[in-house]
Amino acid sequence: MSKFQVYKKLRFTNIFILLLIVFVSCALLICINFFTIKTLSANRAYISGESYYSKGQKDASRHLITYLYTKDENQWKLYLEELKVPQSDGMARVALLKGGDEEIARKALLLGRNHQEDLNDIIWLFVNFKQVSFLANAINEWEQADELIFNLFITGQQINTKIKNDILTVADQQKFLQDISAISDKLTINERNFSNTLGEGARKIKDLLIFTNVFFILIIICSVSFYYSIMVKHLIASKKEIEIKNENLILANHELDRFVYSASHDLRSPITSLKGLIEITQFEDNIDQIREYLSLMHESLARQDQFIIDIIDYSKNKRKEIIIEPVSLHELIDEAILQLMHFENVSQIEITKELLADEIQSDSLRLKIIISNLLSNAIKYADNSKEQMSISIKTYMDNDFYKIEISDNGIGIKDEFKDHIFEMYFGTNKNKGSGLGLYIVKEAVENIKGNIYMTSENNIGSKFIVTIPRSYGI
């Protein structure tokens, strides 16, 4: 077995172990969270049950006192009804402690006004955690409260016997009232201790849950980090393969550039539409009509030529390496204006320059593409209806950026087009552009880590501002 195969086998073994650790940790985390939530839910059910227990005891005491002084039979019945609530809970406790039938405990808890959906959690917590300190203490308080409930029951029987035999005296009433109050006060203490004990247990469970979650999350993070380090080593080992693929891509790019170059020269020859115009012109004697046909031919060739230029710019922008070097904005702008002098009506446009920034560090190819396309658009979309057509070119420094600002008083851009002008093949007038110009400009700006902003009003004019960093991080 080769070293590479040994390394590969070892790597996959390590990855498998790490994934197993993550899986087991997640499974344990889920189980722990599930049982913790179940425990807290049961704890909440006990506290809720205690409120019914306490209310039943207090209502029973109130009805018993009323019966003591009014001898109203309905008050005695209400007393017995309310006393069943804590008595039933006590029966459930005894049944669960003795390990008896859980159905007996379930029925008793229902009589104690506990919610049916809480019964499983109450019984589960009692059976499985009755030896745990917080629940054992709560059960002890519960047991003491049940003894007091029994004392309240005995007191009630004594009161009822005296009332039935008509031997209840005022002294008896005072004594029984003191007994009921004393029992009620002790029960209040037991009930408060019961709730406080369960609350303290819930807080401890919460702290334990937080600790457990943090522990397993750290295990998962460490495992993932180790897995990441293994993958990084694998990427480093694959570096040679990637370098070979990069060389192949470079060759493919060179071939693509050659294809674009060849295709552009082929496309610049007259095509089918021009042939049609030529054939029509051959049979036309009207000199004005012939001139119109020639104008159409010229427009067709101009559009085709511009499209080819855009394709070449697009290819250069995509493929050429970015070279940061000293560039003269003054020279680039003058060169772009000179190359655009053949455009229609360019001689009628007043071009003003205010170049406060000249020598900058940037990529000359991209800057040439940017300036040439923006000036070309300003000329093509000039408003012939205006008495004076104008284009303003400004360069200046603004904090950490150089800015190139090209504005005109042309036909402007309609509001519905403004969000799409930098999209590929989007043009507001297909007869004047290929739809590639501003798309190429935006890509060229992004390649030199700059930004481009546009403001425009329909029939008023447009302004494009290009920002270029004064320095590039290495």
**340 within 8 A of 407, measured Cβ to Cβ:** no
The phi-psi region of residue 458 (left if phi > 0; otherwise alpha if psi is between -120 and 50; otherwise beta) is beta
Average pLDDT over residues 278-282: 75
Q: What is the pLDDT of residues 198-244, one digit of tens each?
A: 777 767 776 776 777 777 777 778 777 776 676 677 777 777 777 77
- Rounded to 5°, angle at Cα 306 from 305 and 310: 120
For the full predicted model, state whether its pTM sits above 0.85: no
Q: Choose between 465 and 235: higher pLDDT.
A: 465
**pLDDT of 319 over the 80 cut:** no
Amino acid, single-letter form, for residue 415: D
**pLDDT of 37 over the 50 cut:** yes
Average pLDDT over residues 34-56: 75
**In 3D, which of 50, 60, 55 has the Cα closest to residue 157?**
60
Dihedral pair phi/psi, residue 87, rounded to 5°? -65, -40
**What is the arrangement of strands in the sheet containing 401-408, beginning at the earlier edge strand?**
349-355, 389-398, 401-408, 461-469, 451-457
Q: What is the pLDDT of residues 9-26, one digit of tens each?
A: 555 566 667 677 777 777
pLDDT band at 425 (very low <50, low <70, confident <90, very high): low
Q: What is the pLDDT of residues 399-410, one digit of tens each?
A: 889 999 999 999
Q: Choose between 433 and 61: higher pLDDT.
A: 61
**pLDDT of 68 over the 70 cut:** yes
pLDDT band at 304 (very low <50, low <70, confident <90, very high): low
Q: What is the pLDDT of residues 290-300, one digit of tens each?
A: 777 677 676 66
What pLDDT shows up at residue 269?
44
**pLDDT of 191 over the 50 cut:** yes
What pLDDT shows up at residue 328?
92
Average pLDDT over residues 337-350: 82
Q: Choose between 393 and 272: higher pLDDT.
A: 393
